[in-house]
Amino acid sequence: MHTHHYAACEDLNDVMAEIERLGLEKQVMELDAYGFTVLEGILDDDTAATARQAVADICERQTDVKPDFEKGDSHPDWRLVPYLMPRHPVFQEILLNETSVALMHYLLGKSAQLSSMTCHFKGPGDGGQLPLHTDTGMPAPLPPYSQVANINYALTDYSKEGGCLAIVPGSHKWARNPEPSEIFLDGPAANPNAEAMEIRAGDAVIWHGNMWHGSYPRRVPGLRLNLAVYHVRPYWKVQERYGDALPQDVIDRHGNNPVFRQLAGLNEHMGWMEEGPAFLDQKNGGYKADGAETLRTGRNSWQS
């Protein structure tokens, strides 16, 4: 690939240069063609193990039950373990993974924000199915370009029997959510177009927001842990509250990193009160000296 420098595509030039630097051309092609791509070994073994243990510890505090990775009957079916990003440095490291950031910028523009970082924590049980859905919560027809995007890290090995992620390749082009009769992954009405993502711990799948996906119930002993890192364009409501609500230690650690600032809502300029928009000079009128730069973070979305 030869990176271009088109005057009309200032931000897109940057995004494409980063795709080229990281050698992600095949992944971009698969995202466009099939709506998803697998990122093998995106986390090294230590990072995956640290994240797995951190999720298990948080789940133990949430449920008052120690996760039993052998049998899994400590946590049957599935439960959501929310708000992970601020709760351990390893989750902030994963958010800032350069492959993830480059592909999120490709899908959503450089003004993408983190909406939530959660774990679908799954043990054996018939109730462990997550029916097929898209993450684009708006009426059909869904816009053809990604409004939202998800990257799903395997923190344990994934298998169909083990309750892994399922996707319907190509469904991002259908521009609609599945009908009630199309959502099942289990039983006689199971959707025949669903594919099991049988990836290894440390791998991830990233997908276009219109993609149909869900996960199978777990039918073998043990626990299946993912890390669902859901991003949105900046005009979407985010699911989890970050920005000024982040713990001070997280702001101290990452507050000078422009990529983190944008992803974690530290550049947010909506929600003003008497003080008005942060980029406007209330006293003298017009823009503040750095106001134009502040506004740029909102402009990129439809430019890249």
Smallest gap from residue 4 Cβ to ligand AKG (A): 34
Residues in contact with ligand AKG, counted by CB under 6 A, come to a total of: 11
If binding is defined by CB under 6 A, does position 215 make contact with ligand AKG? yes
Q: How far is the CB of 164 from ligand AKG (least distance, A)?
A: 7
* Binding residue (CB under 6 A) for ligand AKG from 152, 156, 262, 300: 152
Q: Residue 43 interacts with ligand AKG (CB under 6 A)?
A: no
Q: Which of residues 82-121 bind ligand AKG (CB under 6 A)?
A: 120
Cβ contact 156:75 at 8 Å: no
Q: Which is nearer to ligand AKG, 137 or 221 (CB)?
A: 137
Q: CA 291 to CA 284: how far, in whole Å?
A: 13
| 228 contributes a contact to ligand AKG by CB under 6 A | yes
Q: Return the range that interacts with ligand AKG (CB under 6 A); candidates 15-23, 140-148, 182-190, 211-219.
A: 211-219
- Nearest to 161, CA basis, from 78, 219, 110, 117: 219
Least separation in angstroms between CB 90 and ligand AKG: 19
Q: Is residue 297 a contact residue for ligand AKG (CB under 6 A)?
A: no
Comparing every residue's Cβ against ligand AKG, the nearest one is 215
- Residue 156 binds to ligand AKG (criterion: CB under 6 A): no
Q: Does 135 bind ligand AKG (CB under 6 A)?
A: yes
Determine if 226 is a binding residue for ligand AKG (CB under 6 A): yes
Please, are residues 225 and 78 in contact by the beta-carbon 8 Å criterion?
no
| Beta carbon nearer to ligand AKG, 67 or 214 | 214
- Out of 165, 167, 206, 250, the only residue in the binding site for ligand AKG (CB under 6 A) is 165
Taking the CA of residue 242 as centre, how many other CA atoms within 13 Å lie in the half-sphere pointing to its CB? 31
Nearer to ligand AKG, 130 or 206 (CB): 130
Query: How does DSSP assign the chain, residue by residue?
Result: ------GGGHHHHHHHHHHHHTT-HHHHHHHHHHSEEEETT-S-HHHHHHHHHHHHHHHHHHHSS---TTT-TTS-SEEEE---GGG-HHHHHHHT-HHHHHHHHHHH-TT-EEEEEEEEEE-BSGGG-EEEE-S--SPSSPPSS-SEEEEEEESS---TTTT-EEE-TTGGGS-SPPPGGG---SSTT--TT-EE----BTBEEEEETT--EEEPPB-SSS-B-EEEEEEE-TTSPPSS--GGGS-HHHHHHHTT-HHHHHHTTTT---S--TT--TTB-TTT-SB-TTHHHHHHHHHGGGT-
Q: Among 130, 185, 227, 250, which residue sits at the site for ligand AKG (rule: CB under 6 A)?
A: 130
User: Between residues 196 and 228, which has the closer beta carbon with respect to ligand AKG?
Assistant: 228
Residue 59 as a binder of ligand AKG (CB under 6 A): the answer is no
For 51, phi then psi, to 5°, come to -65, -40
Q: Which stretch binds ligand AKG (CB under 6 A): 141-149, 212-220, 246-254, 286-294?
A: 212-220
- Nearest residue (CB) to ligand AKG, 187 versus 286: 187
| Least gap, CB of 157 to ligand AKG (angstroms) | 13
Q: Which residues bind ligand AKG (CB under 6 A)?
A: 120, 130, 135, 150, 152, 165, 213-215, 226, 228
